[in-house]
Amino acid sequence: MILKFCGFKTVKDVAKVKSLNIDMIGFIHFPKSKRHVDIQQLNNLMTVVPRKIEKVVVVVNPTFKEVQNLIINTPLDCIQFHGNESIELIKKVRENYKNIKIIKALPATKTIAKLIKLYENYTDYLIIDTPSEHYGGTGQKFNWELLNNVQTSTPYLIAGGLDMESVHQLEQSNLKHAGYDISSGIESNHDKDLTKMNKIVHLVKGDLNYE
């Protein structure tokens, strides 16, 4: 299972993941988000990330030029599109930056199967998240039954208000998801909580029983 922890804003919080067996760390680059970090902050934060963890920058409806600016000026490994980005934009990024991985977040609605078919061939991963008028994490779960009939060769992660309890429930499910994208569920008082992160890592990656 792939684990992506997201919404990091401080060097102190990023340093907490150094010893954790996670696959991706996410940073929000969207001024309307309470977790927004600018390009200078991105560079400062990314220097703390161990090489084994992929660095993901989350953007919302950017222009191609804005994506270029991020790729050129930060050491990111992956771009996550979290808005209503066109397939044309994603294709253009794919064609121009073949070494950069692409994630597309999709809202968990009844049309999820159609959306997956639209984007799956141009992305490395998909994220299925709770629908929201306000882009980014809602802290709310969605009805996971919507994923029962999802079929795609592109690995997809589940997001949307996940915490220890909900990840445990999903681990027991028969869904064909490839992992989890977690932000608010690993926080206490708006800071990343090492104990919560540790418990989820052990649950998903092994060697600790859920209690």
Which residues form the domain of 43? Answer: 2-205
Average pLDDT over residues 186-194: 95
Least reliable range by pLDDT among 103-117, 131-145, 168-182: 131-145
DSSP state of 36: B
At residue 94, the pLDDT reads 97
pLDDT, tens digit, 9 for 90 and up, residues 118-135: 999 999 999 999 987 665
CA atoms of 54 and 122, how far apart (whole Å): 19
Tell me how many domains the chain contains. 1
Query: What are the φ and ψ backbone dihedral angles of 15, each rounded to 5 degrees?
Result: -60, -25
Q: Mean pLDDT across the stretch 146-160?
A: 93
- Establish if 149 belongs to a structural domain: yes
**Residues 177-197, buried b or exposed e (16+ Cβ, 10 A)?**
bebbbbbbbbbeeeebebebb
Is residue 211 situated within a structural domain?
no
| Residue 210 belongs to a domain | no
Distance CA 58, CA 30 (A): 8
**CATH code of 130's domain:** 3.20.20.70
The identity of residue 146, as a single letter, is L
- Rounded to an integer, the average pLDDT of 105-111 is 93
SS3 80: strand
pLDDT band at 166; cut points 50, 70, 90: very high
pLDDT band at 210 (very low <50, low <70, confident <90, very high): very low
Element housing 138 (H / E): none
pLDDT of residue 106 exceeding 60, the answer is yes
